[in-house]
Amino acid sequence: MADSTTTTPPLTRASVIAAHELIKPYIHRTPVLTNTTLNKLASSARSEEELAGTRWRGREQPGVDGSKVREEGEKEDGRRQKGGAKPVMRLWFKCENLQRIGAFKVRGAFHAVERLKMDREWVDGGGLERGVLTHSSGNHAQAVALAAKENNMPAYIIMPEISAPPKIAGTKGYGAHVIFSGSTAPEREATAHKVLAETGATFIPPYDHPNIILGQGTMGLEFQEQVVQLMAEKAGSGNADRSNSNSNHDNKNTAKGLDVIMTPCGGGGMLSGVALSCEGTGITVFGSEPSHQGADDCKRGFEAGQRVESVSSLTIADGLRTPVGKLPWSVIYERRLVKQVFNVTEEEITAALRLVLERMKLVVEPSAVVPLAVALFNEDFREMVEREAGDDGWDIGLVFSGGNVALENLAKMFG
């Protein structure tokens, strides 16, 4: 399928910075929030009874430092006899659910369109008149539809028939021509080829393209800067002034900033883009996925050393049902810019979603809370934080990727 542009920047942090400058007029600088209750939950050990009904039942956690005097409840080898890990986590949430179209995807879509407009041959050849095309289950569909509308060009969107009704309505609301297809990648692509032949539109991939990856990575830049600024403001106005005077994407401010960023992973555009934005900053990047019906293809690929090319899952995290693309994989795994990927169950995703709705009063979609579910419930991750961060703990950035969820679906989940 044809590229969305003939020339693309290299996949570097500098290119993410350039992408951010390009799309600033079209996106929101979404807020970063914290929540004391979720920090306490994330930093508390789950009891043996709480773990009993999970895959972590009977698990013994290693002590953080074998040289320390053993605490009550530890065996002679330094392993605690009961309960889960007790890491110290300070959570920061990047609220892309408050982004335009309700999801981070608008960043990549606008970057792809702006790069197209920079291609004089494409413009002079009638590209604007023929428009753009993509296939997506919802958020990327709405993003491309909005970018096309604001540039007065047609958009053709291939959507699975099982797409969430609010996402279909949103895409149509931006004036796009919606064409329905089957839910598998081959079915979507076959329909896309047919429409491309009929319209001559230019294809904008959902995630497997440099312009998409770089656009999504702009969120990581903002996240880094915002947390540094918030920390400096909390420490005192003097630090805040120094932070603000030195916030040009270099992350060298007085405040320490984030230790970790963790994002959801579907096709990998966001995860790889954020990883690029963190390259050379000292921030460690992790991915998170649902485990349901093999939706954790990136995790499995990491462990096998080879990209998993197909996924067939009906996880409730519907935005994460796609396999990781070739280009995202090259950044995530081959360049080792992502340290590790963790998975969570449907029950853990639902529990995290309930906490966000009840404690933070934010409407988010199930895909958005997968990183939080890892922080709260994945004992492999929690044990790693306890071991590597020690008593100081980590400041962990979690991405709320979107908020496009049907209210009736929320009612079904919690009814």
- Mean pLDDT score, 101-130: 96
Token pair listed for 287: 């991915």
Residue 51, pLDDT score: 95
Distance CA 191, CA 188 (A): 5
Own/partner pairs, 178-184, CB within 8 angstroms, 24+ separation: 178/141, 181/135, 183/137, 184/312
Residue 137, pLDDT score: 77
pLDDT digits (tens, 9 = 90+) for 185-244: 788 889 999 999 999 999 999 999 999 999 999 999 999 999 999 999 988 855 444 334
Question: Taking 60 as the threshold, does the pLDDT of residue 252 lie above it?
Answer: no
**Domains defined along the chain, listed by start:** 32-37+85-102+210-414 (3.40.50.1100), 103-203 (3.40.50.1100)
The span from the first CA to the last CA of the chain, in angstroms, equals: 43
Question: Taking 80 as the threshold, does the pLDDT of residue 65 lie above it?
Answer: no
Strand order in the sheet with 394-400: 32-33, 89-95, 394-400, 260-264, 284-290, 340-344
Distance CA 10, CA 16 (A): 9
| 159: nearest Cα among 127, 146, 144 | 144
Active-site residue 105, yes or no? yes
C-alpha dihedral over 259, 265, 268, 270, to 10 degrees? -50
Confidence of residue 72 (pLDDT cuts 50, 70, 90): very low
Distance CA 346, CA 291 (A): 8
Residue 66, pLDDT score: 41
Residue 415, pLDDT score: 80
Distance CA 218, CA 257 (A): 17
What share of the chain in percent tops pLDDT 70?
Answer: 88
Active-site residue 183, yes or no? no
pLDDT digits (tens, 9 = 90+) for 3-12: 544 578 999 9
Which contiguous run of DSSP H or E holds residue 238? helix 237-244
Question: Taking 70 as the threshold, does the pLDDT of residue 69 lie above it?
Answer: no
Question: Taking 70 as the threshold, does the pLDDT of residue 41 lie above it?
Answer: yes
pTM (global) more than 0.95: no
* Catalytic option among 43, 136, 137, 243: 137
pLDDT digits (tens, 9 = 90+) for 326-335: 999 999 999 9
Please report, for residues 112, 135, 193, 210, 245, the alpha-carbon distance to residue 128 in angstroms, rounded to integers and kept in the order given: 13, 19, 19, 21, 40
Between 7 and 172, where is the model more confident? 172
What share of the chain in percent tops pLDDT 90?
Answer: 77
Q: Are 354 and 300 in contact (CB under 8 A)?
A: no
Question: 65-69, 363-367, 394-398: which has the minimum mean pLDDT?
Answer: 65-69
* Catalytic option among 4, 15, 105, 136: 105
